[in-house]
A and B are shown apart, each in its own frame.
Chain A
Amino acid sequence: MATKLKSVDVVLVGFGWTGAIMGKELCEAGLKVVALERGVSRDTYPDFAYPKIADELTYGIRGKLFQDLSRDTLTVRYTLKDTAVPYREHNAFLLGEGVGGAGVHWNGQTYRPSPEDLQLRSHMSARYGRGFIPADMTIQDYPVTYDELEPYFDRFEYLCGTSGRAGNLNGQKIEGGNPFEGWRSRDYPTPPVVDVYGATLFANAAKQLGYHPFPQPASNASRPYTNPYGVRLGPCNLCGFCERFGCYLYSKATPQTTILPVLLKLPNFELRTRSLVTRINLDSSGKRATGVTYIDEQGREIEQPADLVILSAYQFHNVRLLLLSGIGTPYDPVSESGVVGKNYAYQMMSSTSVFFDKDVAINPFIGAGAGGSQIVDEFNSDHFDHAKQGFVGGAYIIGGQTGGRPIQQLSVPAGTPAWGAEWKRAAKDSYLHTTSVVTHGSVMSYRDRYLSLDPTYKDSVGQPLLRMTFDWHDNEYRMSKFVTDRALEIVKTMGPKSHSTLLRQPGDHFDVRQYQTTHTTGGAMMGSRPDNSVVNRYLQSWDVHNLFVLGASAFPQNIGYNPTGLVGGLAYWAANAIRTQYLKNPGPLVQV
């Protein structure tokens, strides 16, 4: 029998980026907010303190800051006919858990989507004809435009102290920024982090080929910065322990370095860690949430009533909680009915190690996370003519490196044995003289790619795991080949001694053993109608009006960019709708 607590105005399920943003916004509106986080409490000091954080094995390889998979993971299968098996160890993606979520161990890439990414189906159909989009590709438009979201992208970047160089200020093109980006109302809050040497070599080659490389937008502050909440970040020192690690220098924007110092002190805010929400409770009509049930640190079942429930967990967990709570109709790929779990998508990468002679000191251990790399965006979104290419989507090309941690990031030339004296000689000869060029590409959504509850496997409290049904489609192999060919033209222009490339070839399965990105999306997508989406344009559940579902679960398909800029922008957009519309008149914000 669950212990029932006193009701609060708002309960947040999960306390990473979106939970922290929403918590701050709704506390400002005067509401009593409780955040339930299933993981542990952690902060810059002492949890990410130097020198213990500079431990590749503990953080980079064993994943001390990631979700504890021993308690909860998901299962994976390739087709509807297969039996799924568990994702037993972190490799392909690094799920978030604990205060700050995956926002602790990200790299800081802070992109906005291209304007056409948000109206992808209508844009591609208009430019290339309706027949251009394959029949089984279930992409659809976001129910919100770039122009509407611009002020909220801006808010997230100014929260983070994002470093970068504008390419389009209020419609005016700026030399040295991204010429393809949507307009921005003002420049980045801090200038770009200095380029690492590999990025300089890449950018020089890209310019020779007529491209327009620019510094990667990075929430790694390039100088001291105080954000609008009055929280201060310090300049990045290019330590090379960024993605997979916590930042010991207060330079990488995380909930801890941008929001929590203010939010945790507010009298109307309360954080409860080690609190595992097991379901969202509904009233007898099934149309209103009454709160959530969770298991606390002592194993007790607790009911927390609330007027407003915000799902702000990692994308997979948002979808799983909707399914476990019976909210919305689960997607069925056979009858193509239902929406919860539909349009799961991912990203497809290729990577090329670029080996130089011994007189070129790349010093790969110098890395600033997202900062210090250079980007070519000519082949992303619809920045190029897709007519002859026969695929939807694209990728950016990135040159440089985030660090040179030797267990994970040491490369040896193609043809080198994986062990023995030859491997050892190659490791010694290559390490200091190697950089990388990566393509970071979109994945579309498809009829047969989705999320559902697993029929067999359970988590530590006996609830079904989420099941992913996913494998690559031809569209993505073609996209990756085309953009990788362009990347290799740049690589050859860099004049290296040799290079070796990992490209997913047609027929290759999605390989859970190879890290690609932690950019898993969809399953609770936003859309224009209840029959094509789980949430409306304000991330409000169509079925339960006092439930909002934040995060990348709202993406109808994935973009070629890193998702956090869009995730943060959408969180501020939803918070604004709650503050200015919902609180005055609680009910559906979109009528159909």
Chain B
Amino acid sequence: MSSNKTSLARRRFLGKAAIGVPATALLEGSKGLVQNAIAAESDPSSYRPTFFNDHEWEFLKAATDRLIPPSSDGPSAVEAGVPEFLDRQMQTAYGHGGLWYMNGPFFPESVPTLGYQLKLAPRDLYRVAIAAVDNWCTQNRGNAFAQLSDAQRDEVLTLMQKDQLPLRELPVRVFFAQLLQNTKEGYFADPIHGGNRGMGAWKMIGFPGARADFVDMSAQPGKVYPLGPVSISGKRG
């Protein structure tokens, strides 16, 4: 069953990738190129998380889909691949807490203005918080978060944002702030990190991505910028 899915996804990928990736790269099996091509071309739903388990994955899709919902304005977080971005970030030094000072003692009750004071690295924060929020939802709303209606999910997210969803495990506002920040990161970061598929979020707002050269425009103040975005990978939108 799963091998059928994989081979279908692979056939789909090869069919599309042939457009953009040099044949030599495919023949040589350049791993980085192939992975980037998968990220850029395949259906967001085909990504299989390597850090998050099935429950966590369903939670993240359901949560980010409300933080940046589908609409005619532009892609939703899920359409933009934000869950994939989150999963990939968990594998980085950042996800492991490697960029932060993580020595104790810890005083998680410190005033918020003194910044992050939990013992949890981002990947542990997600793991602990998702289980705790899901548990709260099951006890208080009768279902895991991902099974709630849109309106119920918005209500739970609002309670989290306002720190009005009491959890034993952690101050829920900290997790909400982290989730919202990481969601916007995945939405707007360069597609090389796994989100912002097809540079859809950049197209929505008009950011030209990695173009990074505006000498011509500086001589034309107030003119609309004429070019679409470009990714670090060289892809143009």
Chain A residues in contact with chain B, CB under 8 A? Answer: 50-52, 54-57, 61-63, 68-70, 72-73, 76, 83, 85-89, 91, 194-197, 200, 235, 237-241, 248, 360-361, 363, 365-366, 368, 372, 404-407, 410, 418-421, 423-425, 427-428, 431-432, 456-458, 509-513
Chain A residues with CB under 8 Å of B66's CB are: 419-420
Interface pairs A-B: 7 shortest CB-CB: A54-B210, A239-B212, A431-B205, A57-B189, A406-B188, A511-B113, A197-B221
> B217 at the A/B interface (Cβ < 8 Å)?
yes
| Given A54-B232, A70-B102, A512 contacting B115 (CB threshold 8 A) | yes
Find out whether the CB atom of B232 lies under 8 angstroms from the CB atom of A51. yes
* Inter-subunit contact A85/B74 (CB<8 Å): no
Closest to B63 in A: A419
CB <8 Å contact, B212 and A88: no
26 contacts between A and B (CB under 8 A): A50-B212, A51-B234, A54-B209, A54-B210, A55-B189, A57-B185, A62-B94, A70-B102, A72-B101, A85-B114, A88-B100, A88-B102, A89-B99, A89-B115, A194-B218, A238-B214, A363-B214, A406-B205, A410-B188, A419-B68, A420-B154, A424-B204, A427-B205, A428-B205, A432-B206, A513-B115
Query: A197-B221, A418-B161, A418-B180 are contacts. A513–B113 as well, Cβ < 8 Å?
Result: yes
Q: Is the CB of A56 within 8 A of B188?
A: yes
In the assembled complex, the CB of A388 is this many whole angstroms from the nearest CB of chain B, namely 32
- Chain A, Cβ-Cβ closest to B85: A57
Count of interface residues, chain B, beta-carbon cutoff 8 Å: 61
What chain A residues lie within 8 Å of B67 (beta carbons)? 419-420
Closest residue of A by beta carbon distance from B231: A51
Given contacts A88-B102, A361-B224, contact A52 B115 (CB under 8 A): no
Instruction: Tell me if A360 and B222 are in contact (CB < 8 A).
Output: yes
Report B109-143 residues with CB < 8 Å from chain A CB. 110-117
A512-B105 contact given A420-B67, A425-B71, CB 8 Å threshold = no
B-chain residues with CB within 8 Å of residue A63 when the two chains form the complex? 99
Give Cα distance in the complex from A68 to B99, angstroms: 7
Q: Once the chains bind, are A363 and B217 in contact (CB under 8 Å)?
A: yes
Q: For the complex, is B192 an interface residue (Cβ under 8 Å from A)? A: yes
**Structural contact, A512 and B185, CB atoms closer than 8 A:** no
* Contact, CB under 8 Å: B74 / A428: yes
Q: Given the known A-B contacts A88-B116, A89-B115, are A431 and B69 also in contact in the complex, defined by CB atoms under 8 Å?
A: no
Which residues of A have CB within 8 Å of B190?
A: 54-57
Residues of B within 8 A of A240 (CB): 212, 214
**Are A54 and B212 within 8 A (Cβ)?**
yes
Within 8 A of A (CB), among B69-127: 69, 71, 73-74, 94, 97-103, 105, 107, 110-117
Q: Quick check: B218 and A432 within 8 Å, CB to CB?
A: no
Q: Is the CB of B232 within 8 A of A52?
A: yes
Complex-state Cα separation, A87 to B101, whole angstroms: 8
Chain B residues with CB under 8 Å of A235's CB are 215
Kindly identify which residue among A51, A194, A418, A425 contacts B212, using a CB–CB cutoff of 8 Å.
A51
A409 CB to nearest B CB, Å:
10
A458 to B193 CA separation, bound complex (whole angstroms)? 34
Q: Are B215 and A424 in contact (CB under 8 A)?
A: no
B18: min CB distance to chain A, Å: 24
CB neighbours (8 Å) of A86 from chain B are 101, 103, 117
**Distance (whole angstroms) from the CB of B118 to the closest CB of chain A:** 9
Provide the bound-state CA to CA distance between A567 and B110, in Å: 35
Which one of A83, A366, A419 has the highest number of Cβ atoms from chain B below 10 Å of its Cβ?
Answer: A419
Q: Tell me the bound Cα distance from A200 to B220 in angstroms.
A: 12
| B229 smallest CB distance to A (angstroms) | 10
Residues A237 and B213 in contact, CB atoms below 8 Å apart? yes
Q: Cα distance A479–B193 when bound, in Å?
A: 42
Report if A239-B116 is in contact (Cβ < 8 Å); known contacts: A56-B189, A418-B161, A420-B154.
Answer: no
Contacting residues, chain A, for B206 (C-beta < 8 A): 431-432
| Interface SS of A by simple majority | loop
A407 to B189, CA, bound (A): 7
Could you tell me if B205 and A432 are in contact, using CB atoms closer than 8 angstroms?
A: yes
Which B residues lie within 8 Å of A238 (CB)? 213-215, 217-218
List B contacts of A368 (CB < 8 A). 218
Q: Which residues of B contact A51 (CB under 8 A)?
A: 210, 212, 232, 234
Of A87, A405, A424, the contact of B68 (CB 8 Å cutoff): A424
Inter-chain contact A365/B210, CB cutoff 8 Å? no
Query: Chain A residues near B215 (CB, 8 Å)?
Result: 235, 237-238
Q: Give Cα distance in the complex from A197 to B222, angstroms.
A: 6
Which of B101, B207, B208, B212 is within 8 Å of A69, CB to CB?
Answer: B101
Please encode chain B, from 194 to 237, with 1 for each CB lying within 8 Å of some chain A CB and 0 for all others.
00000001101111111111110111011111000000101000
Nearest CB of B to A74, in Å? 9
Q: Which of B100, B113, B212: most chain A CB closer than 10 A?
A: B212
Question: Given known contacts A62-B99, A431-B207, what 11 new A-B pairs fall within 8 Å (CB)?
Answer: A51-B212, A57-B190, A76-B114, A88-B115, A239-B214, A361-B223, A363-B223, A419-B67, A419-B157, A419-B161, A424-B68
Task: For the complex, give the distance between the alpha carbons of A238 and B205 in Å.
Answer: 20
Contact among A57, A85, A194 for B193, CB-based, below 8 A: A57
User: Smallest CB-CB separation from A361: which chain B residue?
Assistant: B224
B207 close to A457 (CB less than 8 A) = no
* Across-interface contacts of B61 in A (CB, < 8 A): none
Chain A residues with Cβ below 8 Å from B201 are 406
Q: Which residue of A lies closest to B233 (CB)?
A: A51
Q: Write out the residue numbers on chain B whose beta carbons fall within 8 Å of the beta carbon of A421.
A: 69, 71, 73
CA distance A51 to B99 in the complex (A): 23
| A407 pairs with B214, CB closer than 8 A | no
Check A88 against B101 for contact (C-beta < 8 Å): yes
Q: Could you say which residues of chain A place their CB within 8 Å of the CB of B112?
A: 513
Least CB distance from A351 to B in Å reads: 17
* A48 and B107 alpha carbons, distance in the complex (Å): 38
B100 to chain A: which residues have CB within 8 Å? 69-70, 88-89
- Cβ of B113 and Cβ of A510 under 8 Å apart? yes
Q: Which residues of A contact B105 (CB under 8 A)?
A: 456
Asked if A195 contacts B207 (CB within 8 A), the reply is no
Known A-B contacts A197-B221, A432-B206; the reply to A89 vs B116 at CB < 8 A is yes
- Min CB–CB distance B172 → chain A (angstroms): 15
Contacts of A83 in B (CB 8 A): 107
A-side contacts of B113, CB under 8 Å: 509-513
A255 CB to nearest chain B CB (Å)? 22
State in angstroms the CA–CA spacing of A458 and B103 once bound together. 8
